[in-house]
């Protein structure tokens, strides 16, 4: 397991590197599609790979509940279970400490969850999280952490940071496998001094890579940017930097500009299933009436199978009829759009044209309105609470 920065942009923090894992090399900057339950929704592993994806994420909490860690281990580990031959990263389950707040109780020892499936109780500690991830066999595993809501006060966030640090120490101590990289997760909410403290503490512990967590969970984008910029400056330059939960094109470009190497998000696949698709001019909604008779593809110039073979009118028809093929074709497009963006950014860093590439892209790309974005995020969290209410 190794990481090497091969080129950087002198006028920004952007950098291109190579992340080597037991299951292959990941060129960075890289985007990780989310496959929480050992699947990127609606696509086969072969399709995901054909889109340019090098690494996929699984979620320890969800896989623990279904089908169970022991079953996956018995069947040869997560790679074999899901027929994915490339690198894998598993989240620790720490995000569920945030997203399933109404179904859990946190203590210094660990987290007592009530299953969102059947209400049964499960107690997960940092040691168990590492044990589960080692059994799953991912190339990169994450330390168990507490992600506090953006709205929490400073004292509450400070307590969560201190607990995250204690858990990080326990995760390092319990790790046994030498063929897996363990990443620590910087927390601190929207409090700059807590972010600085967390970054300093975790880098002193010494991890194989560092993630920035607890962002893009409802805070304004300017807050996200400020927290990332401050944190990146305190992380080791020779280790991978991973910004968790970021998936919109403009935010990915902004993160790369600050020196981020790895991103993950369910956004591209989630909005695809709801009829949203990325273009060079911003996000569009295929259900809108003006696509009803549009002969051309979703996105002119896109090389994905969807855009090369199907008209926007056909996609509009599929979504209006709620045909299953609609979700697959839109997901293929959105993931290919993001993977192509990562490839183009990497090339521009290597050939020294990243600043002009960034300016050109952002000049034509229209981001989702900030008020709309925050409203959608809040609705999503409210829906989650309603769905998992026992």
- Integer-rounded Cα radius of gyration of the chain: 20
How far is residue 279's CA from residue 296's CA, in Å, rounded to a whole number?
13
Annotated catalytic residue: which of 139, 261, 264, 299? 264
Neighbours of 221 (CB within 10 A): 17
145 is annotated as an active-site residue: no
Collapsed DSSP state (helix, strand, coil) of residue 103: helix
CB atoms within 10 A of CB 269: 22
Distance (Å) of CA 40 to CA 21, 59, 153:
21, 11, 35
Active-site residue 91, yes or no? yes
CB neighbour list of residue 144: distance below 8 Å, 6 or more residues apart: 92, 93, 94, 110, 124, 125, 126, 129, 130, 167, 170, 171
Q: Where are the alpha helices (DSSP H) in the chain?
A: 45-50, 60-65, 69-74, 78-82, 94-99, 126-136, 154-174, 192-205, 221-232, 249-257, 267-273, 305-309, 312-321, 324-351, 354-364, 370-387
β-pairing, 209-212 with 241-244? parallel
**Cβ count within 10 A of residue 265:** 22
SS3 (DSSP) at 101: helix
How far apart are alpha carbons 116 and 246 in whole angstroms? 24
Half-sphere exposure of 360 (CA within 13 A, CB side): 9
Give me the catalytic one of 91, 139, 251, 261.
91
Q: State how far the Cα of 369 lies from the Cα of 353, in Å rounded to an integer.
A: 28
Residues tagged active-site:
91, 264
């Amino acid at each position: 397991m190794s990481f090497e920065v091969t080129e950087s942009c002198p006028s920004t923090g952007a950098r291109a590197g190579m992340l080597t894992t037991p299951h292959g090399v990941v060129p960075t900057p890289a985007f990780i599609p989310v496959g929480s339950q050992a699947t990127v929704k609606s696509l086969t592993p072969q399709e995901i790979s054909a889109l340019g994806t090098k690494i996929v994420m699984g979620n320890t909490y969800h896989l623990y509940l279904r089908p169970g860690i022991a079953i996956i281990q018995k069947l040869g580990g997560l790679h074999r279970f899901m027929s994915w031959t490339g690198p894998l990263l598993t989240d620790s389950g720490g995000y569920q400490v945030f997203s399933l707040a109404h179904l859990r109780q946190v203590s210094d020892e660990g987290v007592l969850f009530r299953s969102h499936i059947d209400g049964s109780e499960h107690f997960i500690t940092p040691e168990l999280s590492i044990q589960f991830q080692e059994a799953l066999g991912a190339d990169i595993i994450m330390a168990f952490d507490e992600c506090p809501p953006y709205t929490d006060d400073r004292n509450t966030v400070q307590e969560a940071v201190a607990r995250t640090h204690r858990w990080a120490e326990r995760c390092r101590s319990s790790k046994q496998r030498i063929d897996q990289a363990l990443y620590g997760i910087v927390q601190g909410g929207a409090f700059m001094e807590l972010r600085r403290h967390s970054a300093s503490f975790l880098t002193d512990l010494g991890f194989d890579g560092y993630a920035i967590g607890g962002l893009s969970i409802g805070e304004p984008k300017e807050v996200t940017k400020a927290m990332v910029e401050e944190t990146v400056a305190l992380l080791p330059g020779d280790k991978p930097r991973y910004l968790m939960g970021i998936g919109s094109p403009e935010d990915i470009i902004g993160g790369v500009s600050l020196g981020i190497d790895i991103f993950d998000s369910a956004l591209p696949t989630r909005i695809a299933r709801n009829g949203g698709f990325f273009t060079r001019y911003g996000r569009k909604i295929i259900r809108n009436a003006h696509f009803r008779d549009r002969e051309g593809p979703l996105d002119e110039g896109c090389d994905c199978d969807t855009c090369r073979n199907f008209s926007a009118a056909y996609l509009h028809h599929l979504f209006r009829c709620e045909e299953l093929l609609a979700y697959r074709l839109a997901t293929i497009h959105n993931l290919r759009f993001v993977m192509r963006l990562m490839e183009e950014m990497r090339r521009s860093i290597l050939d020294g044209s990243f600043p002009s590439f960034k300016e050109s892209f952002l000049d034509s790309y229209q981001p989702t309105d900030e008020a709309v974005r925050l409203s959608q995020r809040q609705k999503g969290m409210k829906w989650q609470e309603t769905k998992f209410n026992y």
